[in-house]
Structure 1
């Protein structure tokens, strides 16, 4: 089932196999970002983190993922949230 990606703030999408390969966990992200249930979603082969508020949180998280050996675009991708509220975006991994 596709994940609804809200407008207004960035959402980080991570391939589930990449997330698991480097040993990431929900708990590890919660300690850093204090996520709600709606801000950490897993559907099929896709992990969605966000919407994230604050540029520093996102920048630090992107740097951490790259430091773990994940590749931007191949393993994870950030959707800016910079689109109008009347437009709905859905994401699914294949």
Structure 2
């Protein structure tokens, strides 16, 4: 899926520019993003092979639900007491 994200960015003519790469930790880390577009998911995934957390509704969305599953997304049920801990 990382290659797919890279190709999608190329199709749309988007060139990634990472600034301050030296401050990124070498060990695994949590990245919290308040994204404004579905494209930032692919921008992040094109640079790092990562896993996402999304509300469970996303799993049923056409195309995006399938993509989320392929990326190994963890789906959270917001109205489930067990998931809000």
Given the two structures, how large is their TM-score scaled by the length of structure 1? 0.26
Structure with bigger RCO (C-alpha 8 Å, 6+ apart) = 1
- Hey, which of these two has a bigger chunk of helix by percent? 2
Given the two structures, how large is their TM-score scaled by the length of structure 2? 0.28
Question: Greater CA radius of gyration, 1 or 2?
Answer: 2
- Hey, which of these two has a bigger chunk of strand by percent? 1
